[in-house]
Amino acid sequence: MNRLALTSLSFVALGAAGAAHAQTSVTLYGTIDTSITYVNHANGNKNLWALGNSSYGNLSGSRWGLKGAEDLGGGLKAIFQLESGFNPSTGASAQGDRLFGRQAYVGLTAAQYGSLTLGRQYDPLIDLVQGITEDNYFGSVFATPGDVDNYDNSFRVNNAVKYTTPVWNGLQAATMYSFGGIAGSTGSEQSYSAAVAYNNGPISLAGGYFYAANSQAGIGIRTTGWSSTSDGTFDGPINSGYASAHSLSIARAAAQYSLGLFTFGLGYSNSQYAPDASSVFRNTEKYNTGQGFVNYQLSPVLLLGLGYTYTHANGDASANYHQVSIGADYNLSKRTDVYMTAGWQHASGEQGDGTGGSMPAEASIGSYGYNGTATQTMFNLGLRHKF
């Protein structure tokens, strides 16, 4: 889950050389989210009891970070953000043991012109589409099976230049390009994305597109995995057989409507893992996903949620995944909440096995990546604190 944490500790320095009006601020913030987790069929027919899980969070990924801004005058500000993910059960770094694996960027922003940022960042689909999905409220148990469409923000993008517009009467857009950085091969490992969102009263609409290219193997050399400016979204058995894809493309759209104490949401995505001559599979694997959810604010401190996700895979292999998810989140204070989430998933058909063949489809709830049988059940009882 990728909701930005609330911040509470700020260091402000007033005054700067040559500009007495300038102001610089740096904020330390973080989130710690962990749970007692039970998974039925976590590794084939085996059951699992654990503290925490492989996603390092349920409602939110655990992280700490620094962000800041310097007033440059004339409405222009310099901004930066450094954000590190970690596993609260062990203290280990997340995102491939990167120091600042969640975000690391610097940029410029102005209210009338928008923001330009450079570094390791979220892509525009996460910025503008994810916020009106159930992932924004209840996180990973509601994510697409295998997170094949990056619904739960399984990846970030390196070497990225991103521009985000101001909000015009509820309308906002963002575009991003990531340099592959491979001499003589401009397209190798590059990523690009664009998205647009509209928010007006109770209605929110958003959609966008993302594309990432894998590293190009030499003639006669087999691609064995994923190497790109995008980390990729290979969170378990559902799509791990396609890590040798030439490219990954994701088109997503979402809508949300608030009516009194109820919030309703719908979403659709199309994800395609396309091969080339170096891939271990031969036909593009396509995942079409439809999602719906309803939340009910039972009291000012208690939110309830129910969601359903259907994913159909076809092309290289054909499979169907049905997932039902529920959640309850109770706020003990503005910074601390306790929650319960649970999910059930059923899989049928065949999925790629990573060697060019296929195997029976395995259920794997959300973005957790646990190998299952044809069915899988998960339960989380968790505690989250923001600082």
pLDDT digits (tens, 9 = 90+) for 355-380: 999 999 999 999 999 988 999 999 99
Summarize the confidence of residues 1-9 as an average pLDDT.
Answer: 41
pLDDT in tens, 189-232: 899 999 999 999 999 999 999 999 998 766 557 777 888 999 88
Per-position b or e across 160-179, b if 16+ CB within 10 A of its CB: bbbbbeeeeeeebbbbbbbe
State the pLDDT at residue 223: 77
State the pLDDT at residue 186: 77
In a domain, 1, yes or no: no
In a domain, 67, yes or no: yes
- The CATH number assigned to the domain holding 71 equals 2.40.160.10
Tokens representing residue 323 in the block: 């997932």
Q: Provide the pLDDT confidence category of residue 181 given band limits of 50, 70 and 90.
A: confident
- Looking at per-residue pLDDT, the higher value among 339 and 10 belongs to 339
Q: Provide the pLDDT confidence category of residue 52 given band limits of 50, 70 and 90.
A: confident
State the pLDDT at residue 57: 75
State the pLDDT at residue 217: 67
How, if at all, do strands 336-352 and 319-331 pair? antiparallel
In a domain, 2, yes or no: no
Q: Provide the pLDDT confidence category of residue 7 given band limits of 50, 70 and 90.
A: very low
Q: 128: helix, coil or strand?
A: helix
d(CA 303, CA 326): 11
In a domain, 197, yes or no: yes
State the pLDDT at residue 56: 65
Q: What is the DSSP letter of 113?
A: T
Averaged pLDDT score across all residues of the chain: 91
Question: Which residues constitute the domain of residue 51?
Answer: 7-386
In a domain, 223, yes or no: yes
pLDDT in tens, 18-35: 444 568 899 999 999 999
State the pLDDT at residue 306: 98
Summarize the confidence of residues 161-183 as an average pLDDT.
Answer: 94
In a domain, 175, yes or no: yes
In a domain, 77, yes or no: yes
Cα-based distances in Å from 62 to 5, 133, 139, 149, 235:
10, 20, 12, 21, 18
Residue pair 88/58 in contact (Cβ under 8 Å)? The answer is no
What pTM value is reported for the model? 0.90
Summarize the confidence of residues 162-186 as an average pLDDT.
Answer: 92
State the pLDDT at residue 262: 98
- Looking at per-residue pLDDT, the higher value among 263 and 58 belongs to 263
pLDDT in tens, 277-289: 999 999 999 999 9
CA atoms within 13 A on the CB side of 323: 32
Q: Provide the pLDDT confidence category of residue 12 given band limits of 50, 70 and 90.
A: very low
Q: Provide the pLDDT confidence category of residue 6 given band limits of 50, 70 and 90.
A: very low
Percent of the chain with pLDDT over 70: 92
Number of domains in the chain: 1
State the pLDDT at residue 268: 98
pLDDT in tens, 334-354: 999 999 999 999 999 999 999
Whether the per-residue pLDDT at 178 is higher than 50: the answer is yes
Q: Is the dihedral of CA 85, 88, 91, 95 positive or negative?
A: negative
d(CA 76, CA 69): 10
Summarize the confidence of residues 155-159 as an average pLDDT.
Answer: 94
Q: Provide the pLDDT confidence category of residue 124 given band limits of 50, 70 and 90.
A: very high
Distance of CA 102 to the CA centre of its chain: 10
State the pLDDT at residue 332: 98
In a domain, 59, yes or no: yes
